[in-house]
Structure 1
Amino acid sequence: MPAVPSPPLVLLPGMNCSARLWGPAGAGALHPVLDRPTLDDQVEALLDTLPARFALAGLSLGGIVAMALTRRAPDRVAGLCLMATNARPPTPEQRAGWDAALTRLDDGAPARALQPLELLLHDRSFDATALRMADETGERRLAAQLRLQGTRVDERPALPAVAVPTLVLAGALDRLCPVERHTEIAGLVPDARLHVLPGAGHLLPVEAPDTVATLVAGWTATVHARERAREMGGQ
């Protein structure tokens, strides 16, 4: 009997971040970019280009897109990992901040000037990594991501329908997406596993690369085992 192929791992980065974000957790994964100006357009673009079935992980904006994609096409997603993210709709304050950032870009500011290092990192020795990711993202892609942010919706009503192995990772010191946002997500997704990483801020794979890689590897192993059982049960 032929072996059941493992679903590929797809990693969606946060806003103004590149594939560099993932460190060792990203080895062998697919790294799509987020470059569409609406959530629906971004999900559609990903579904048009990704394999038929995959394990899906995202951080921050990438996690928001991952939730939307899972809601839209649950049959395509074999497993879900959400890091440093938020299932709630935007607040007026967030919308104002994104509009202000777009204005700065229109006025000629580089993407690295819009990287809020004090909010992204607890360990500021990683500032250079965050700035390099902004350079790799660039102004055009960042502008699309800022517009995408404004089209977000409340993902909480759809989370109880998630029926795949789900891992939720939070930084204990995350100032953008605090732990309670992740407790909320894990409480809504059936059988989700929540891990809070001590000493880490928003960019978890940058500040705790080995821990994140280990947790992601354990989750993908669970996803692969579930897929094998699913395929065997269908034969």
Structure 2
Amino acid sequence: MTSVPLPLHAHTAGQGFPILCLHGHPGNGRSMSVFTEHLSRRFWTLAPDLRGYGRSRTEDAFSMTDHLPDLEHLLDRHQIQRCLVLGWSLGGILAMELALRLGDRVSGLILVATAARPRGNHPPVSWQDEAFTGVASILNRIYPAWDWNIETFGKRSLYRYLIQQHNAHAYRRLAFEALEAYLTTSRPAIAALSQALQQRYSRLDDLPSLRVPALVLAGAEDRHITAASSEETAQALPNAEWHCYPNVAHLFPWEIPEQVLRDIDDWLVRHPQVSQASIMGME
């Protein structure tokens, strides 16, 4: 294992106060576009491909903690002294880790479908699940959001655990962002996540030290990281607001993007300190 920072490829857009957007597993920076396309109208968004994902390639084994010096190096490279961090799933775990590591450099947290002690209730995966998922994914890439494919294969595939609202917007995101992210996730990245899960990762006891404003968003039908574990995280954070959306699952920002983005905008308006450029004399 190595802790030498890996220069991360990052998707950047907009200008103004920086928002660091961290993707999940499998994922890449592009899969955060549901957030960055909206937020970059007012802010400077940076969505890196994490180590072992997308264009931040490595064939070397690493641990989950190696993501942190990579992200610190990214902030230093862009001369960012303070930023808001938005993380989805694995990205939310790393957002909390980064806040614990960097203190005043993180102004606030937006945590999406994530938890400091992640728990899931995903049922066993059968070969039929995998077969239907493969067919659904290929057809969806060729004919995005095709109703026949959604009804025939999509709703019988593993997508039924990732989304509840099988709408066109979600399937277009699955076609153009999820499939690419899956295909560009490396074996070392899969191994690093598996190792962390086997070690029963938990940072719940450390969260009371994070006093920055936090917005915690969850899907009521999330089978990968349950809404209960997200709520537990929100309760442990001293200054958190929690929203749980009904009839959506782990990929709920792709199911109900307008609602999610409205709630983020509202939270930003009510917590202007998270997007201010200075704190304690830092610029």
Structure 1 length-normalised TM = 0.77
Equivalent AA in structure 2 for residue 47 of structure 1: E
Counterpart check, 1:12 vs 2:22: yes
CA distance in 2, matches of 1:40, 1:171: 27
Call closer, same or farther: CA 1:217–1:89 in 2, change over 3 Å.
closer
Match of 1:135 in 2: 179
Q: Taking CA–CA contacts closer than 8 Å with sequence separation of 6 or more, which of the two structures ends up with the larger relative contact order?
A: 1
Matches within 5 A, 1:186-205: 186-205=234-253
SS of equivalent residue, structure 2 residue 91: helix
Counterpart check, 1:164 vs 2:206: no
Matches within 5 A, 1:1-235: 7-27=17-37, 28=40, 29-36=45-52, 37-50=62-75, 51-88=80-117, 116-125=158-167, 126-152=170-196, 153-226=201-274, 228=276, 231=279, 234=281
Equivalent AA in structure 2 for residue 7 of structure 1: F
Equivalent AA in structure 2 for residue 43 of structure 1: L
CA-to-aligned-CA distance 1:37-95 (integer Å, 9 cap, x gap): 4211111101101222110011111111111111211222111111111222689x99x
Call closer, same or farther: CA 1:22–1:134 in 2, change over 3 Å.
closer
- Does the 8 A contact of 1:55 with 1:79 survive in 2? yes
CA distance in 2, matches of 1:227, 1:81: 12
1:228 CA displacement: 4.3
SS of equivalent residue, structure 2 residue 99: helix
Paired-residue identity, %: 29
1:135 CA displacement: 3.3
- Does the 8 A contact of 1:35 with 1:144 survive in 2? no
- Does the 8 A contact of 1:89 with 1:154 survive in 2? yes
Farther-moved stretch of structure 1 (124-133 vs 205-214) = 124-133
CA distance in 1, matches of 2:182, 2:226: 27
The structure with the largest helix share of the pair is 1
CA distance in 2, matches of 1:132, 1:229: 34
1:12 CA displacement: 0.9
Farther-moved stretch of structure 1 (174-183 vs 115-124) = 115-124
CA distance in 1, matches of 2:277, 2:98: 24
Call closer, same or farther: CA 1:141–1:213 in 2, change over 3 Å.
same
Call closer, same or farther: CA 1:22–1:212 in 2, change over 3 Å.
farther
Unpaired runs of 5+ in structure 1? 98-103
CA distance in 2, matches of 1:205, 1:211: 8
Equivalent AA in structure 2 for residue 64 of structure 1: I
CA distance in 2, matches of 1:67, 1:204: 20
CA-to-aligned-CA distance 1:203-233 (integer Å, 9 cap, x gap): 12101111111122233334543564964x7
CA distance in 2, matches of 1:134, 1:21: 7
- Does the 8 A contact of 1:167 with 1:194 survive in 2? yes
RMSD of aligned residue pairs (Cα, Å): 3.2
Aligned residues: 215
Unpaired runs of 5+ in structure 2? 1-14, 53-61, 139-156
- Does the 8 A contact of 1:13 with 1:21 survive in 2? yes
CA distance in 2, matches of 1:140, 1:23: 17
1:184 CA displacement: 0.3
Equivalent AA in structure 2 for residue 145 of structure 1: A
